[in-house]
Amino acid sequence: MSGSKVFICHNSKDKPVVKDIEKKLRQQGLETWMDEKHIQGFEDWKKYITQNIIKMDAIAVFLGSSGFGEWQKDEIRTIYDEISRRKEEELPQLRVGLVILKNCRPELRKIQEAYHNSPQGWLFDYQTVDLRKPDFSIRKLVVAITGEPWQGNDSNNFLNHNVDYTQLQTSLAKQKWKEADKETLTIMLKATGRRREGWLDYPSIENFPSPILNKIDQLWIEHSDGHFGFSAQKRIWESVSKNPKQFGELVGWGYEGWWLFGGWYKYSDVCFDILSAPEGHLPIVLRKKRVGVIVPEVRNMMRNWRNPRQISAQQWQNLGSTVENQLVEEVIDGIMNLFDSDSLLEFDSSRMETLFSHIVGVSQTT
């Protein structure tokens, strides 16, 4: 059940700690559903929750020191109804479990006694994961949710998925490089639980399962005769002493004069012709589409320039000092998304170096 969909049922008073756990579950490759991330203002939240519970593989019901919240109790009733429906229709059953948070003080036995005759008492008939136990680890919660044995290790923050490389292999064999590039990112997002975000952040790259990354690299190297692949990129990266500008120029990822802010061009500009593309040009996984915050200072600048690339480096630097708590990079992302409909290629040396650290060996020059 890798990639299991799990509904996060919690009391809003416990939201900070539950959000942290939910993030870790996503890093294990699970798809999580949490009210604040999926329900917008003025929506019929009861209807929306019901519609999504029926799509879930598992339900994690969190219990903290404040007990079950009123909205949470409504969710629990809906969960019970869904369990009954699946039994009646002989459908695959929901995996339901109670998760005791660390801030919950009473012993488990006393908690069970307190809720024995309540509408939530049935939850104690299912598996309970107690986060207060000294031997607790996130892997135990993942195993409880998925029902699968743990196949990873404590140094790897991801569940070792049975990854399906069929689509990637087929696209590469047919030299459909664009399809292969997109499938590569899809596999990596699934493996890190970041399909919703659509891009790989530093922790997801740092903790990425090396066997998966090396298998992807092996396929790219094999079907491109060493012209494409992560190990081809790593060799070039090391050959220029990890110089970002030189690396970008060699693999064909950068615009001249657009490097000060990590200036990478649009995904639509990527070359998918192996005869024309530089060595190491593909795959490209460090890309994302993100709308930054457009502050007044930026709007004023945009009145004078139709193309943000016409803004000088000094003007960007001056702007950066006036934008409180915002990275200049985020502001650029926001502006560029107003002009560009596709994702931008984004680069930073730390993520690139971390990605390459997973690659075993270096490809030879073709």
Q: Check which CATH number belongs to the domain holding 247 and give it.
A: 1.10.10.1770
Instruction: State whether 58 and 100 are in the same domain.
Output: yes
Decide: helix, strand or coil at residue 208: coil
Instruction: State whether 22 and 107 are in the same domain.
Output: yes
Structural domain contains residue 200: yes
Helix H or strand E segment including 114: helix 108-115
Q: What is the pLDDT of residue 307?
A: 52
Instruction: State whether 19 and 98 are in the same domain.
Output: yes
Instruction: State whether 316 and 280 are in the same domain.
Output: no
Per the structure, the complete domain to which residue 62 belongs is given by 5-146
Q: What is the pLDDT of residue 212?
A: 87
Structural domain contains residue 61: yes
Structural domain contains residue 13: yes
Q: What is the pLDDT of residue 153?
A: 41
CB 293 within 8 A of CB 330: yes
Residues 326, 329, 333, CA angle at the centre, nearest 5°? 105
Instruction: State whether 94 and 119 are in the same domain.
Output: yes
Question: In 102-134, which positions are buried (b, 16+ CB within 10 angstroms) versus exposed (e)?
Answer: eebeeeeeebeeebeeeebeebeeeebbbbeee
Nearest-10 crossing angle of helices 349-357, 230-239: 120
Instruction: State whether 304 and 183 are in the same domain.
Output: no
Structural domain contains residue 211: yes
Instruction: State whether 171 and 263 are in the same domain.
Output: yes
d(CA 118, CA 240): 67
Instruction: State whether 225 and 316 are in the same domain.
Output: no
Instruction: State whether 277 and 300 are in the same domain.
Output: no
Structural domain contains residue 331: yes
d(CA 189, CA 201): 10
CB 29 within 8 A of CB 190: yes
Number of domains the chain contains? 3
Structural domain contains residue 39: yes
Instruction: State whether 265 and 305 are in the same domain.
Output: no
Q: What is the pLDDT of residue 310?
A: 56
Count of alpha carbons within 13 angstroms of residue 84, beta-carbon side: 7
CB 347 within 8 A of CB 262: yes
Instruction: State whether 20 and 137 are in the same domain.
Output: yes
Q: Which of 221, 193, 241 is nearest to 360 (CA)?
A: 221
**Tens digit of each residue's pLDDT, the chain (366 residues):** 445 789 999 999 999 999 889 888 887 778 888 875 545 554 566 777 888 899 899 999 999 999 999 989 999 999 999 999 999 998 988 899 999 999 998 888 888 888 988 999 999 888 889 999 887 778 788 888 888 765 544 333 444 456 889 999 999 999 999 999 999 999 998 887 777 777 887 777 877 877 888 899 999 999 999 999 999 999 999 999 988 878 888 998 864 444 333 445 567 778 999 999 999 999 988 765 543 334 444 545 544 544 555 556 556 555 555 444 344 444 444 444 433 445 555 566 777 888 888 887 554 444
Decide: helix, strand or coil at residue 257: coil
